[in-house]
Amino acid sequence: MKGILISFEGVDGSGKSTQSRRLYHWLRRIGYDTIHLEEPGGSNLGESVKKILLYSKGEIEGLSELFLFFACRAQLVKETILPSLKKGKILIIDRFSDSTLAYQGYGRGIDKGLIVRLNKIVTKGITPDLTILLDERPKAALKRTKSRKGQKSSLSADRFENEPLSFHQRVRKGYLKIALCNKKRIKIIPVRADEDDTFQEIKKAVLPLLTKMT
Ligand code: TYD
């Protein structure tokens, strides 16, 4: 594969969307053919399923939730990720396979071995070249999300943001365990008070990959 895949991971509200978009704009400015994606979403099917996953009123059983995330991923891999990597693009994705292991595995308690096996099938074996794990205490991160959504009356808390703090704490612990097992791929970046400082750390982690590309 000629391209590069960089994923962003972290608990809700840790600033992945902001930082991943910043990285996207920076890479384009300095001349790299770059695409920004997010999960769930990014395809017609993904966008429809995302609404169910985030805002469905009825209860969603754990395995149903798991397969809906996998459905979104399978579609995105086939439609966009695989073709773009073959063309040599840089793909930045806001959440990927590690989210499923952290949220459905560590958060919901679904069999982690099963998730790892299914992830391999659904991604066709594609693993990110680099994963940026934005690490922050869930309490602080969720507070940021609440204040951001509170400013826009059109945005309400989704199914995951409505989970108790203990759920988000399990997710964070899960992420840190996943990072320990994948030291080469996953770079833990603590979220700083100043967004610019966090971004400088992200740039430092990404630069070695760029020199490999040229
Ligand atoms: P969204 O608002 O799209 O993104 P974010 O919170 O990252 O800004 O919400 C996506 C939610 O879906 C988020 O709470 C994490 C969750 N999620 C899973 O539980 N499993 C997964 O595999 C993925 C991709 C996301």
| Residue 211: predicted pLDDT | 86
pLDDT tens, residue by residue, 129-182: 999 999 999 999 998 888 777 776 567 889 999 999 999 999 999 999 999 999
Q: Whose CA is nearest to atom 7 of ligand 1?
A: 12
pLDDT of 207 reads 96
Pocket of ligand 1 (CB under 6 A): 12, 16-17, 39-40, 54, 69, 95, 99-100, 103-104, 158, 160
pLDDT for 149 equals: 75
172 Cβ partners below 8 Å, 6+ apart?
Answer: 11, 135, 136, 137, 138
From 9, 103, 115, 123, mutation site for ligand 1 pocket: most ligand atoms within 8 A of C-beta: 103
pTM recorded for the entire structure = 0.96
DSSP string, 71-102: HHHHHHIIIIIHHHHHTT-EEEEES-HHHHII
Distance CA 8, CA 17 (A): 8
Please report the domains of the chain, with CATH numbers, ordered by start residue.
4-213 (3.40.50.300)
Q: In the predicted model, what is the mean pLDDT of the chain?
A: 95
| Helical (H) or strand (E) element with 38 | strand 34-38
